[in-house]
Amino acid sequence: MTGGRVAGKVALVTGAGAGIGRAVAQRLVAEGARVVLGDIDEKALDAVLDELGPEAAAGRRCDVTDEADVEALVALAVERFGGLDIAVANAGGGGSSELVAHDYAQWRRIVDLCLNGVFLTVKHAGRVMTERGGGSIVNMASLNAVQAGRGMGAYCSAKAGVVALTEVAALEMGRHGVRVNAVAPGLVRTQATGPMWQLPGVVEEYVENAPLGRFAEPEEIASVVLFLASDEAGFVSGSLYGVDGGARTGRYPDLIGAFERMGRE
């Protein structure tokens, strides 16, 4: 489309093969942007690229924990579409283990993906944007950035780190016209969160703890990302936007307890 809230802009989205990343890519294109997409799942990525079409989208395999991959994804945006105005650092993943039993390799994997991957995206996208004199970076944090959960030590630590990283990036890049914000979703129904529905009582706990009484769909997160990416948020930077139905006012579901109950059944 020729009009739209991000018409004429070039965007980058990591973890774009499914879930929130896919919904963000779809929404950005619907609102006039051209997008460059990265994901480690090349089959899923190709499906999104086919859906969006070559005039609106390009992409490549991107492991956000590999700096060369991230740098190449940013370079693709510049080479294919002439620049970069928006970057959405969405790729992430988690796991569950109490701290005293936490496997260190798993801890490093979660932190590497959820925090270091965001850093690398901010670093390379931010470098292009500061040189061009402006842009918007949106980092995917989580409800777990502000609400602790039993067994969620690595994920909570990484996502809290994303919030601090976002604030530092906003502080450093603001003088170049680059805005940096973070979004903190609660439970969102995606392929990645599908196992939650297999744990007895967990989804019900999420719903009970959210004052709005439900979980979210990926499109609802994409709407907030779109706002932050657009000029409508032109004086918004260094902020964390919770999209959790108010769940941060309650308590986080006991995932470890759910695993224990499942093991007894």
> What's the pLDDT tens digit per position in 22-69?
999 999 999 999 999 999 999 999 999 999 999 999 999 999 999 999
Q: What is the CATH number of the domain that holds 43?
A: 3.40.50.720
5 found inside a domain: no
pLDDT at residue 2 greater than cutoff 70: no
pLDDT of res. 265: 58
Q: What percent of the chain has pLDDT over 70?
A: 98
112 found inside a domain: yes
Q: What digits encode the pLDDT tens for the residues 163-177?
A: 999 999 999 999 999
Q: Which of 13-27, 36-50, 131-145, 192-206 has the lowest mean pLDDT?
A: 192-206
Furthest-apart CA pair in the chain: how many Å? Answer: 58
Q: Collapsing DSSP states into helix, strand and coil, what is residue 31? A: coil
pLDDT of res. 264: 63
Q: Mean pLDDT across the chain, nearest whole number?
A: 95
83 found inside a domain: yes
Total of domains in the chain: 1
pLDDT of res. 193: 86
1 found inside a domain: no
Q: What digits encode the pLDDT tens for the residues 94-134?
A: 998 999 999 999 999 999 999 999 999 999 999 999 999 99
63 found inside a domain: yes
pLDDT at residue 261 greater than cutoff 80: no
pLDDT of res. 198: 81
pLDDT at residue 200 greater than cutoff 70: yes
Distance CA 194, CA 18 (A): 12
pLDDT at residue 232 greater than cutoff 70: yes
Active-site residue flag, 104: no
Segment 103-107 long-range contacts (CB within 8 Å, at least 24 positions apart): 106/154, 107/153, 107/154
199 found inside a domain: yes
pLDDT of res. 111: 98
265 found inside a domain: no
Closest CA to 164 of 96, 118, 104, 110: 118
Provide mean pLDDT across the span 191-215: 88
2 found inside a domain: no
Token representation of residue 185: 């979703």
104, 155, 241, 252: the catalytic one is 155
Sheet of strand 86-89, all strands in order from the earlier edge strand to the far edge: 57-61, 34-39, 10-14, 86-89, 135-140, 178-185, 240-243
pLDDT of res. 195: 82
pLDDT at residue 78 greater than cutoff 80: yes
Distance CA 260, CA 254 (A): 10
Q: Which of 62-76, 204-218, 249-263 has the lowest mean pLDDT?
A: 249-263
pLDDT of res. 46: 98
Q: Which domain holds residue 34?
A: 10-260
